[in-house]
Amino acid sequence: MMNLSQNILGIEFTNPTVLASGIWGVTASGWKCVAKNGAGAITTKSLWNKEHCGHPNPTIISNEHWSINAVGIPDAGPEKAKTEVASYMADRPAPLLANIVSDSKEGFGEIAQVVAELKPDAIEVNISCPNVEDELGKPFACSVTDAAGVTEEVKKHTGDIPVFVKLSPNVNNIGEIAKSVVGAGADGITAINTVGPGMAIDLKSRKPILSNRVGGVSGRAIKPVAIRCVADCYKAVGPDVPIIGTGGIYTGEDALEIMMAGASLVGVGTAIWERGEEVFKKICDEMSEWCDENGVKDLSEIIGSIHK
């Protein structure tokens, strides 16, 4: 079986699969369970610099093609983050990316400082959630200036911990945003966050199903968008900036496709609901099988291959 391990930004990944933020396991015990099921790395739920309630139920609706969520990024605040991250890092079975979020540039700096003291392997900066626009306004990821400003603020507080900035597909030119955050100091990119927001309507009540009316769209339907966005980011920032490609990844072939677009690592989220916690191992097995059948000896032959 092919060796899928990689060293990215000095972090050793046994395989390229990464648990996407906020999908499955929001505590240290949950993250460890996902790691035992084969994930190459774990991304935490979004951690705030203050307590944040999120949206009331119903917050998620799914079918075989897509999922719409308006969870609203709930979080108990920094003290809870300290407990869970410290517990996981004490004997971490896989690298941990601590995802952070805030409603202000200064707030991002505050939570970055708190999290950096816990020494996660990397920090992921969520500037792109589309299901809190009614509360917080347009995401920072929709502006070149705002995206760069948040990145600069976070980098002031993170020392030598690598920083990935999570971008939105809901922009005219994601490549421009990618260049702006890398220029401001980002070490890597995560592409993409959910698409939308989208809406689903209940025919009997003739009203939107979600209490928030709209939510971010994920699942199989957004894979083509994610692949295009990763390709655009790779073209904009070059091969030396690692990209976590996420959005609609369900199989090993999906993972290879987004890696050919330019991703070094592959985020997996909604697929867990369909394929179970073992989806990470399944994806890795499917990747290895394809590579063996097609004479691929190293992932470097795959990553960004459409650009070569």
Q: What is residue 36's three-state secondary structure?
A: helix
Structure tokens, 244: 């976590």
Cβ-count burial 269-279 (b if 16+ within 10 Å, e if not): bbbbeebebeb
| Omega cis (within 30) before 100 | no
| CB crowding 73-104: b at 16 or more within 10 Å, else e | bbbbebeebeebbebbbeebebbbbbbbbbbe
Cα separation, 184 vs 103, whole angstroms: 19
Q: Rounded CA gap, 53 and 74, in Å?
A: 5
Rounded Cα distance between 17 and 280, Å, is 6
Would you state the structure tokens that stand for residue 13, as one six-digit string?
């990944």
Give me the helices (H) in the chain, please.
28-36, 78-89, 105-116, 133-136, 144-155, 174-183, 223-237, 252-261, 271-275, 279-293
- Mapped onto helix, strand or coil, the DSSP state of residue 202 is strand
Strand partners, 52: 75
Tokens (6 digits) for 209: 């199903």
Task: Show the CA angle centred on residue 115, arms to residues 114 and 118, nearest 5°.
Answer: 105
Catalytic residues: 129
In eight-state DSSP terms, residue 122 is: E
